[in-house]
Chain A
Amino acid sequence: MNKINFASLNRKAILVGVLVTVALVFSIRLFQMQIINQQIYDEKSAGNSIKAIEQIPFRGVFYDRNLNLLVDNIPAYTLQITPADYDTSLNKTLDAVLDFNEGTVSNILMRNRIYSKYVPIRIKRGIDFKVVSWLEENYNYLPGVDYIVEMQRGYPFGVMGSHLFGYSKEISPKQYQQEKDYYRPGDYVGHNGIEKAYEKDLRGIKGFKYVLVDSKRKEIGRYKDGSVDRESIKGKDLVLSIDGYAQKTAEEEMKGKRGAVVAIEPSTGEILALVSSPEYDLNQFSYVTTKEFLDQIYNDPDNPLFNRATMSLKPPGSTFKILAALVALDMGVINANTVFHCGGGFTFGRFFKCHGSHGAVNVVHAIEKSCNTFFYNLIYKIGLNNLKRYALEFGFSKKTGIDIGEEAAGLIPDESYYEKIYGKNWPRSIMASLGIGQGEISVTPLQLAYFTAITANNGVSYKPHVVKGYLDNSTGNIIKYEFPVTKTSVKKEVFDIVKEGMFLVVNGRGTATHIRSNEFKIAGKTGTAQNPHGKDHALFIGFAPYENPKIAIAVVVENVGFGGTHAAPIAKKVIESYLLKGKSSNKKNQMFTQVMQTGEEIAD
């Protein structure tokens, strides 16, 4: 039996069977893996070893309308830590070197511990050069610590533009959740003003560098020698409609005051200057924001972060008389020769005071003298619903749709508004003060400037905007953005009459004759908004040159008193700096300086 079993054919057959089966199973398995499922494994293999490194493009810069550089990118050093290589016993040293409170570095590392140990974590941006040299000197003793050069915003023209430009900061978790397809945690994103509104233009297109990494995620070379890398594309360089000189002048004039200045080119709706005061230092927000700065700015009673130009709502005061006059003339309830008698006031249920006794006044002189009596009469002829209808045409009581930032709508009450509050028989005496821009009416400085621009351009303008377009760097051409046109139904003759009144305010015997200029004719209207909580707000709206308006402006200064005294001179300086900078010869520049000085004397 043994003999039979030894090396029997049966047993040989079994071994052959096992051998062939194994080879067959292996072959099938290899076929399945390498032929059928090859793609699945291939993707895994590629994901394994090829790492895409994002290349953050340069952010687009801002030019003003004269192509002066207002906002650009400047290199800044950022200290970062790669946790895999880092020794946490260095925490204390770094806290000290970076001027952090003890435990800050450790906190930042803790917050980021969900990410890969091999991905560097930014610890502090904008470290100063001393720290950089310290890093260089002690490189060997600081495993996992290094620095990179990143770009931060610089403001070379000396324009603050805090509410205009805005700033970038690290993307919030909420926004990241919404825009995961482009952003990564830690990316910087425009947070305010133009930086926010034009984020998609400014950010450019991220590039990707593909590198080969080994199993420890260490970079060991370029993938396909960089042939599939995608270069990042720089963000679009925006050309603002802002005039650097006008903006700078407006900022300087508003220093130490609370309020806003908005200047618009009437024929285009382009905003030439937009200032909300007090301002804040954008550099403080640009990448390195200290806690002290945030505490200070959040607790400031003047609320610098609040954009007064588009958000603050105030009664327009006498500047509103321009609208009332336009409406009445266009409706035909008065004509240029209609006369009301001013005996120092107006009685409707009660007595409404005028600031003088103007006698018989027509509409032009009523504007020139800012006669309240005339407009008390007028509002009852117009009626609130008509007023509201026209007001809407001129951009009041609704958002203007400016291309940046948040904006308040304001209020022009109509009859239904009062019916809701007082019922059908609401006291009609309320209307009187609306005629002179007091009471429930509220407008933003932007709305006032826009209204002035429409008026100056005889009822036609474009939606107000701060960005004209972007610079095509290959051709040097400006590619303009389109903005919708605004047209009012008011007749041209009506504008002529009202504008004549505005001309006389400055150039006749009106309320702002002290801002008269020899260089060009300014037309305008002063206003003083009553303020139950303190001193009145000073307002001025105007445009220049009278014959061919190139700039329309609204100035609001809070709690200072009369508009003619406090707001009009600011308007004049901004107008001057805008209209004169165009003459670029040295001689003219000198003249510009002289005019500026003269202007100051007049204001005094």
Chain B
Amino acid sequence: MRIDYNIKDKIDFYIVIPVILLISIGLVSIFSSTYNNPLAQNNFEKQLYFVVVSFFIFLILHFLPTNTFKIISAPSYIFGLLLLLLVLVIGKKVSGAKSWLGLGVFGFQPSEFAKIATILMLSNFLSRNNNNIDSIKDIIIALAIGFIPVALILLEPDMGTSIIFFFFILILLFWKGLSILWLVVVISPGVIALSAIFGTTAFIIALLLLLVILFLLNKDLFFNGSVFALNLGAGFFADYVYNILSPHQQARINSFIDPSSDPLGTGYNSIQAMVAVGSGGLFGKGFMSGNQTQLQYIPEQWTDFIFCAISEEFGFIGSITVVILFLLLLGRILRNASNTRDEFLSLTQIGIFAVLFIHFLINIGMVIGLIPIIGVPLPFVSYGGSSLLVNVIMIAIVSNIYRTRKNYT
């Protein structure tokens, strides 16, 4: 009983068990969706290998002194930026984006590593002192820390990862206590940029809406004018970026507006994914029996569309289980972050929460047709070595903080 208590005290089972289950479900589905595909013959074995590696990395990180994370935050951030630059020069092009570094047999995505580095660095900066975060200088520095990697990732160009960065930076600032006005200032360029892509009308409406909100929150004409000018710039910049986006990314954005317009083209994945999920029914078609999955209707289903395989073969029971596991995991991280009184560690955990939550939101959302197809893996479940590794590292950090929580509460 005593041993039991110790283990419970050292390891947060509300974190670890959902992760283990999600990884297991992922392995089963990767096995099923790659079994009949000659292009992905060894993917299950590769993933298994990474699970083992991840386990040891988890153990190491779990038992590191907790202040290590703060110490390494700046060096790892610099290192991450260097890797992001490197990938632009010698990176390997995979489906239109130069985002992979060759590392022996396995590829490696620097943007995955940069996620952790950026979370740590930004958390470190935001928790540096109790400075008023609403000061322009601090906000600009914080945004710079966050958006330098985003700019480099956009150059690859990797839309999905950029969106992830945008949201976790936002949530970190939110957690730090950024006022509503400043949140509007930070969010609005993104919203305006998106509206610009949708068309001139949407762009103008969004700008008018922004003006109204600004004047409701703040009477300072100069401030509001500056923010408006910034947004105007963001809109035109987005239009420019849209035009330099790779064709497959442009097509993905377009097909979201009307997926059925081109059922064999870019809307294809979206329709086939929904058919796979919907046809699963309550109990699913059974392991290795989903025809959508087994007949490869969805290209590379073991990566971003792994949730289709689960939903098709294990039905509503399977898909709802995944949703519940994420709810438990994310809720627990949120609770731990809330309970941690050390600002750096609390922010770090919220950053991790944000990254996992946005992945979860975008990945499942796109598979069930609620948001556009954006190439984002489902954490722990999707096939992908560096993705799994990074996700486990983040969980290890959360777990490490839990282990030493009594020192900070």
CB within 8 Å of B: which residues of A? 1-9, 11-12, 15-16, 19-20, 22-23, 25-27, 29-31, 33-35, 37-38, 40-42, 44-46, 48-50, 212-215, 220
Cβ contacts under 8 Å, A26 to chain B: 323, 364-365, 368, 370
Contact of B295 among A35, A38, A44, A214 (CB under 8 A): A214
Cβ contacts under 8 Å, B292 to chain A: 45, 48-49
Cβ contacts under 8 Å, B134 to chain A: 2
**B177:A4 contact, CB within 8 angstroms:** yes
A-B pairs under 8 A by CB, number: 136
**B338:A29 contact, CB within 8 angstroms:** no
Contacts A6-B175, A7-B346, A48-B292; A29 near B320 (Cβ below 8 A): no
Contact with A along B18-52 (1 / 0, CB 8 A): 00000000000000000000000000000000000
**A19:B370 contact, CB within 8 angstroms:** no
Contact with A along B259-301 (1 / 0, CB 8 A): 0000000000000101111111110000000011001110000
Cβ contacts under 8 Å, A11 to chain B: 174-175, 177
**A42:B327 contact, CB within 8 angstroms:** no
Tell me the complex Cα distance, A33–B175, Å: 35
Taking the complex as formed, is B132 at the interface, i.e. its CB lies under 8 A from any CB of chain A? yes
Contacts A15-B171, A44-B275, A215-B296; A2 near B281 (Cβ below 8 A): no
Contact of B132 among A2, A212, A220 (CB under 8 A): A2
Least CB separation from B312: chain A residue: A45
Tell me the complex Cα distance, A22–B324, Å: 11
The interface residues of chain B, by DSSP majority, are classed as helix
Least CB separation from A38: chain B residue: B281
Tell me the complex Cα distance, A25–B175, Å: 24
Cβ contacts under 8 Å, A214 to chain B: 295-297
Query: Ordered nearest first, which 9 A-B pairs have the shortest CB separation?
Result: A41-B278, A5-B177, A45-B279, A34-B316, A33-B278, A41-B279, A42-B279, A38-B281, A23-B327
Cβ contacts under 8 Å, A3 to chain B: 130
Cβ contacts under 8 Å, B130 to chain A: 2-3
Contacts A25-B370, A41-B277, A215-B295; A34 near B334 (Cβ below 8 A): no
The interface residues of chain A, by DSSP majority, are classed as helix
Taking the complex as formed, is B343 at the interface, i.e. its CB lies under 8 A from any CB of chain A? yes
Taking the complex as formed, is B87 at the interface, i.e. its CB lies under 8 A from any CB of chain A? no
Cβ contacts under 8 Å, B315 to chain A: 34
Cβ contacts under 8 Å, A1 to chain B: 132, 177
**A30:B320 contact, CB within 8 angstroms:** yes
Contacts A6-B175, A30-B311, A45-B276; A19 near B330 (Cβ below 8 A): yes
Contacts A3-B130, A19-B357, A26-B368; A49 near B274 (Cβ below 8 A): no
B12 to chain A, nearest CB (A): 18
Taking the complex as formed, is B403 at the interface, i.e. its CB lies under 8 A from any CB of chain A? no
Taking the complex as formed, is B176 at the interface, i.e. its CB lies under 8 A from any CB of chain A? yes
Contact of B297 among A6, A12, A19, A49 (CB under 8 A): A49
In the complex, which residues 303-318 of chain B have their Cβ closer than 8 Å to any Cβ of chain A?
311, 315-316
Tell me the complex Cα distance, A41–B295, Å: 16
Cβ contacts under 8 Å, A19 to chain B: 327, 330-331, 334, 357
Q: Which of A29, A30, A42, A214 has the most CB of B within 10 A?
A: A30
Least CB separation from B365: chain A residue: A26
B220 to chain A, nearest CB (A): 18
Cβ contacts under 8 Å, B244 to chain A: none
**B346:A37 contact, CB within 8 angstroms:** no
Taking the complex as formed, is B319 at the interface, i.e. its CB lies under 8 A from any CB of chain A? yes
Taking the complex as formed, is B337 at the interface, i.e. its CB lies under 8 A from any CB of chain A? yes
**A42:B174 contact, CB within 8 angstroms:** no
**B326:A29 contact, CB within 8 angstroms:** no
Contact with A along B349-363 (1 / 0, CB 8 A): 010010001001100
